[in-house]
Amino acid sequence: MITNLSPTQVVAVLGVLLVLLMMWCSGTRQGRRTDAAHGASRVASLAGYLLGTAGVIVGVQWVAMTYARGTTLFWVVLILPALITSHALTRAVASLDSGYWRGDRR
């Protein structure tokens, strides 16, 4: 089988092959960027949850300090969020070191 291609057609085919190669390589790099972007969005999401939860805790503690000073409710409202926060913080720091999820599934 003999194919007669003009120089313009050869350059066009090489250009298409080059574009396909560049797209394939950028897809690999994009995958790495996507992982980095996922990590950044995860941090931003956690920061949002942190600020929202902190606002609720501060509001409840403010109400308890204003209206229930010296009662058992006062101490429960101050101690319980501290215990929950320390537990969550400990789990978060521990999960950063381990690099896997429970059951090795994501």
3-class state of residue 6 by DSSP: coil
Q: What is the pLDDT along the chain (106 residues), one digit of tens a residue?
A: 567 878 888 888 888 888 888 877 766 555 556 666 666 677 777 777 778 878 888 888 888 888 888 888 888 888 888 888 788 877 877 766 555 555 555 5
Written as one string, the DSSP assignment of 70-98 is TSHHHHHHHHHHHHHHHHHHHHHHHHHHH
Q: Which residues, 6+ apart, have CB-to-CB distance to 68 below 8 Å?
A: 74, 77
Two structure tokens written together for 12:
């066009």
* pTM for this predicted structure: 0.44
Q: What's the Cα-to-Cα distance from 102 to each of 41, 42, 52, 105, rounded to whole Å? A: 21, 18, 26, 7
